[in-house]
Each structure stands twice: as C-alpha cells, then as structure tokens.
Amino acid sequence: MIVLNKDMSKGLDKLLKGEVKPHALAKELGISEAEAVGIRRVYLYETRGLDLDGFLPFEGVDYDDAAKRGLTNALGHMGGGPILSFFEAANLLKDGSAEANSKRPFFYATTEGFMGPGLMRGVSAVEKSGGVTVEILDDKMTRSVGIVTPGAEYTKAIEVFANSSEGFAFLESVYNRVSSHSQLRDVEVHTTDDGNAIALVFIAPTGAAMGMNMLTEGANGAVKAMLKERIIPMLNGMGIYADEDTFGVIASGNLCTDKKVSRINNERGRGLTLRISANISESIITGVLKATPDGMEMVGKYKNNLFSDIGGVMGRNSAIANPVSAMFLAYGQDTAQVVGPSAGNVSVTMNGDKSLTVTVDIPVLEVATIGGGTFLPLPRALLTATGVYGRDDHEGVSKRLFGSYLGAIVTGYEVNALAALSTDHLTSAHRNALEANRSGNGAAQRASDLASEKRQ
C-alpha cells in the first residue's frame, strides 16, 4: 500500500469528508498529480476495499504531463499504456432501486486526452437531471452455424426439418444438454439464394456471461447431431445418398454477427438491447453544460441525422465508442465488441419548457460480469468495487445492471458531446491537447531527447 506523506494524509481526510472531489485533488490542495494518484488509490482501498497494488502499476508515468493532456483522475497505468481513471456517481437510474442508485466508483482506461473530463461533465448533468430511464428490450446471445450442401434438395431437407416443431424440439434437446448453463430460446433459418447453403441461428440467454462460447458449443453440437441422426437418415430414406462427409459445417456463419456492424444485428439485437432516455432541463444545459437547448438540438438534428444520412453512417451518434471502449478495457470486456454499441443512435427532442429529451438506442451491447476477461485480477477487482461482479449470478442480474450503468454513462457522454459540439468547447479541448503535445513536457520531450541521442 502507498505510504502517504503529511500533505497527502490531509488530502485523504478532505476526500473522505467530501470536501474535495477526487479529480480536483492536485489543483485544490496544491500537490502533484502523482501524489493525487496515491491519495485516490488509498481512498478506494478505505471506501471500497479495492487494493490495486500488485496488478496496476503506479510508478513511471509523469501524471502532471498526463493531466495536461486531459488524462485526469488517474489511478495508475496499464504497463505504460492506457491510464486507468475513475469517477464516482449516484442516482444514475431514474427507476432504479436505492441500492442500484447508491454512490459507487466507475472505471475507464484510455489514452484519449480530454475524454474523461467531458465524460464526467456529462454524467454530472445526468445525475443532476434525476438519472436516466433504461429499458432493457432484450437480453440474448446469438450464434449462427453455416451448413454447405451439395445442392438445393439437401438444403431443403434441412430447412423443412429445422423449421418444424419436431426439428426445434430436437435442436433444443441437444443444445440444452451440451450448453448446460444456457437454454435455447429460438432458432432462425436462413437459406442462401443459390440454394447450396443454409445457416441456423441459435438464440439464447446466457446469464451473467457474454455467452458466445456457450452458444458455440451448444449450436455446433446440435447441428452435427441433427445431420447425423435426422437429416442423413431422412435423405437416405428418400433415395438421396448422404453421409457425414456430405456437408460442410462452418462454426460461425456470420449471421450472428460477431465483431462486425451488421444490419441483422441492429434489427434483431445481440447481447443487451437498450433504450436509454434522459430529460435535461434548460437550467442544467446552461449551468452545467454551458450550452443552449437550441444549439444542442441543432447538433442532434444535423450531425446525428441529416449529415449521417449523407455519409451513410450506421451509428447516428457523436462517439459512443469512446466511453464504451474505455470502460470495456478497464472491466475486462471483449474490446472488439465496441463495434456493436458504436452503431447506436442518438435523438434529441426539444420540449415546450426548453428542456431536451435525449434518447440513446443501443441494439447491441455485449458485456459480461463473469467469464472471459473478467477472471483477470484487475477487471475482477474493478467489477467488485463497482458492485457488479457476477459470481454465482445465473440469472444475469449483474450483467443487466452493468449494462444499465454503461447506458447511463454513454448517455451522459453523448449529452456532453452535443453541448461541446454546439459551442467552442470541443475545439478548445483539442487545442489544449495540441498545446500539451507541443509543450516539450513529459513523454514527448523524452521521446525527442532519445531520438536526438540516437542521431548523434
């Protein structure tokens, strides 16, 4: 555990009493950003039991330089790479329980300067607005198995069987036996135009896990059993020769669709499908966001809609991928799955009282609170500190709560982006980042010195 000097101990005391915010420690107490990092780590240990020693490095980064680049509220770094930061929030969910809305830390890891301050400002606006309403429209994982056949008559036999009640009962029985922690909900059948291939899309809830491995094992097991035990005997009985070498089986037929933006995923959903809405009053828009309702509505109309139409953009939003990727990295999620929420849509409606209703639709949010990268020490510790680690959660309650928090935080980020884009805030933030890069401080200067040494 980090040893605090006298000034740091005073800072910790003020932080525990709520007299200073975690992100403002260095500025308000006149201490270095490195000392502020130490105070934050001890603070989280004392308030959350979160001990970052041993798996989140602290030494070796110029945190004063990092803060100038907008990498604020730091806790340490990921092996000299992304800076891990946090903020605290409460009352994010308008219809949530008292426990769900209790004050808790949220973590993100990024190299993107000035993302964090904007994120925190937007979340603050959401908090002061009474939180967001989150509708979880669906919770499921999909996996498609492709079957390539010698011709249309073979494909038709599979199509008829898979679409029958007998066929579903067979596939369900095998799937549920192979994938013991997941129960099959539905199977979609899609045939290629040439009639030489067919894909079966298995759909099932997966509890607190993201669940792709569950579905892959169950779906492949069910398809292979169907071919061997039902389709081949059926075809042979019709005088059409077939054996196990007749069919080519593709473990993922791309109708899932995994780690790619797709029309079918946006229509059907994958993982959590969310609709999040927040009502931001005019006083919060002008006081917290330093913007105007008319300006934010203008950005929503033209950037997110009309200009997106011209550009053929699948994802009418400012930058949902920013907070999602940063939180995915911190919490041990599959970072490639950021492509799903990146295709989310944000709409802005002006109300009669000059408040704005901001609605965020995310059809694909694939997260987990158990399994995958969550087994690693740091993500597991951070999930636990946030109160969403999914151990023994077979129903997926923790995953849906985690997804709801992500939805609220994404909405805050988008609200702030609407404000920043309607004023000069985005330009000034980038200008500050450029000035930091040109200042000759920290890592940039060390890299320049090293290059000069090598030239000499």
Which pLDDT band, with edges at 50, 70 and 90, does 207 fall under?
A: very high
Tell me the mean pLDDT in the region 96-114: 95
Tell me the mean pLDDT in the region 141-154: 97
Q: What is the pLDDT of residue 437?
A: 52
Q: What is the pLDDT of residue 79?
A: 87
**DSSP result, 391-453:** TT-SS-HHHHHHHHHHHHHHHHHHHHHHHHHHSSHHHHHHHHHHHHHHTT-HHHHHHHHHHHH
Tell me the mean pLDDT in the region 376-399: 96
Please choose, from the candidates 115, 94, 134, the residue with its C-alpha nearest in 3D space to the C-alpha of residue 360: 134
3-state SS track over 363-397: EEECCCCCCHHHHCHHHHHHHHHHCCCCCCCCCCH
Q: What Cα–Cα distance (Å) separates residue 246 from each residue in 102, 198, 221? A: 58, 14, 17
Tell me the mean pLDDT in the region 80-88: 95
Which pLDDT band, with edges at 50, 70 and 90, does 3 fall under?
A: confident
Residue with the larger pLDDT of the pair 180 and 296: 296
Q: Which of 17-21, 243-247, 339-343, 421-425 has the lowest mean pLDDT?
A: 421-425
Q: How far apart are CA 258 and CA 248, in angstroms?
A: 21
Which pLDDT band, with edges at 50, 70 and 90, does 180 fall under?
A: confident
> 261-280, pLDDT tens digit by residue?
999 999 999 999 999 999 99
Q: Is the pLDDT of residue 34 over 90?
A: yes
Sign of CA dihedral 91, 92, 97, 102: negative
Q: What is the pLDDT of residue 432?
A: 54
Residue ranges covered by each domain of the chain: 6-111+431-455, 128-138+271-426, 139-250
> 435-445, pLDDT tens digit by residue?
555 554 444 34
Domain boundaries 128-138+271-426, CATH class: alpha beta
Give the chain's mean pLDDT: 92
On whether the 139-250 domain is CATH 3.30.70.420, my answer is yes
> 219-234, pLDDT tens digit by residue?
999 999 999 999 999 9
Q: Is the pLDDT of residue 430 over 90?
A: no
